[in-house]
Structure 1
């Protein structure tokens, strides 16, 4: 079937705007080639992620049972046991870190974006970028010197979940500051000007207009910070150490004791020659990955509903 238009060329097509587009022009071919290259590279970047997830799932799924969530770590060559104390300890220390880093990080970002001068904001952002690249073991050494040794000097104990939470907050803070800062900057200036034009003060504009608009991005950044903190091992080796027992929250003196965590349990059990503890380390690795995944899914769902 031939086209009635004598000027029609089979090598040319029409886009949605009605403009003629050459299907085999150099620019179209280059665009298609680069699109294919980008897709291939994106797939190659995802392959290691799926490889890790599949391998951890394959190694750890056989050791997952209800008992691992309610029992304590077993001694060598003893079947059974679990890591319920490590799950509780991880949630406790990550929660302490979030309680410290989220308010400070959000308030610092609000000051940077809405109230600070250009010179101050540039220096603070530069310091935040430097802090985000500091190795996690440095945060552990800092918390050990600032918290553990101080507690020991005053007779309040030594290693504790408080020290572990403070170490994790140091790692979480720059992530929260950077993501919140970028989220606030993405809020259009017209929104701020409209709020001020209606008679709102600067504080009312930030609190009632700018901050709610940036909440989804802020929550996403907080989730990333929590995910990083939950998998850190080195800071907790210096601050919370490890324990074979359940964390005690009362009286206060009992709370200032070494506390187990999933990351340290994986580290300790992965290097021992005992098969039962190695299998438990794989199971703990899988649970740690699932905790981060579930947290991310819930956060995405909540932020999408708010958006």
Structure 2
């Protein structure tokens, strides 16, 4: 029985034919995959060592008392970081109110309205600010608001300003990218139905980009919640719960970790490791939640 094969046009190679360098390319692909896998494992070893050691040292102090009691002198056992947790939530709440709405509004201007040099300048400075070391932000706020021109002293508000400055470029750039992903056809359809520019942004663009905006904001919060250097120069630190907005030094978990890690007493060190573990778990939860929100949004799309 004769098998009929489709003739291959002149100048073309059948896909069934194996290229001469296919074996070498397959080998190279396997080698590079193995090298990258080994590099990834090597890079993850320090991460797991750090996580394991912090967990080993800090898990013993984690409990209800750790989240509800104030910190005793470093040489004494027991107590907790309730002042730090309260201060961190206080500072981050104010920073979120400053950074997230302003960052999203800036992104809306750049994507929907900005076409000139101002939009280019905003993008440039957002990229530059993303890479600025946080200690410089702390020095700027300290020189401007704590002891400089405004001179209002240490407190919760100036600490929130410093954290908001760190969060702002992250929110702006992530929100800009999310808004760009909204198809122009949706905007045109909204315009075709008679909606204006503002109505289209509020009722079409922002709802479509909402999961991405939430994800970017949560990642910015995760970055700001662990900052220590700006708080040293703005919040200063305390071991007591402080409710005043400004004028009194405010506590924060990163500051209590920093101060606890500098002293020689074992109990104080253990509480510092417990605070580090709590902060790590909190940041991990926020990052994972941001990833889940982003993944679900992509599935719906």
TM tier relative to shorter chain:
0.7 to 0.9
Flag the 1:207–1:134 CA change in 2: closer, same or farther, 3 A: same
CA distance in 2, matches of 1:127, 1:261: 29
TM-score, normalised to structure 1, is 0.84
What residue ranges of structure 2 are gaps of 5+ in the alignment?
A: 6-14
Flag the 1:36–1:288 CA change in 2: closer, same or farther, 3 A: same
- Give the one of 250, 263, 269 matched to 1:259: 250
Aligned length: 285
Determine the structure 2 residue equivalent to 1:11: none
CA distance in 1, matches of 2:52, 2:43: 15
Flag the 1:114–1:43 CA change in 2: closer, same or farther, 3 A: farther
CA distance in 2, matches of 1:57, 1:151: 44
1:60 deviates by 0.7
TM-score, normalised to structure 2, is 0.86
Determine the structure 1 residue equivalent to 2:132: 134
Flag the 1:242–1:116 CA change in 2: closer, same or farther, 3 A: same
- Give the one of 46, 52, 55 matched to 1:54: 52
1:247-277 deviation line (CA, Å, top 9, x unaligned): 225xx6xx54111111111111101111111
Q: Find the residue that maps to 2:99 and give its secondary structure.
A: helix
CA distance in 2, matches of 1:182, 1:162: 30
- Give the one of 99, 105, 108 matched to 1:107: 105
CA RMSD of aligned residues (A): 2.5
Flag the 1:110–1:265 CA change in 2: closer, same or farther, 3 A: same
Judge which range, 294-303 or 100-109, deviates more: 294-303
CA distance in 2, matches of 1:21, 1:143: 67
Determine the structure 1 residue equivalent to 2:85: 87
1:99-150 deviation line (CA, Å, top 9, x unaligned): 1000110000010011011422221111111111111111112222332237
Determine the structure 2 residue equivalent to 1:195: 190
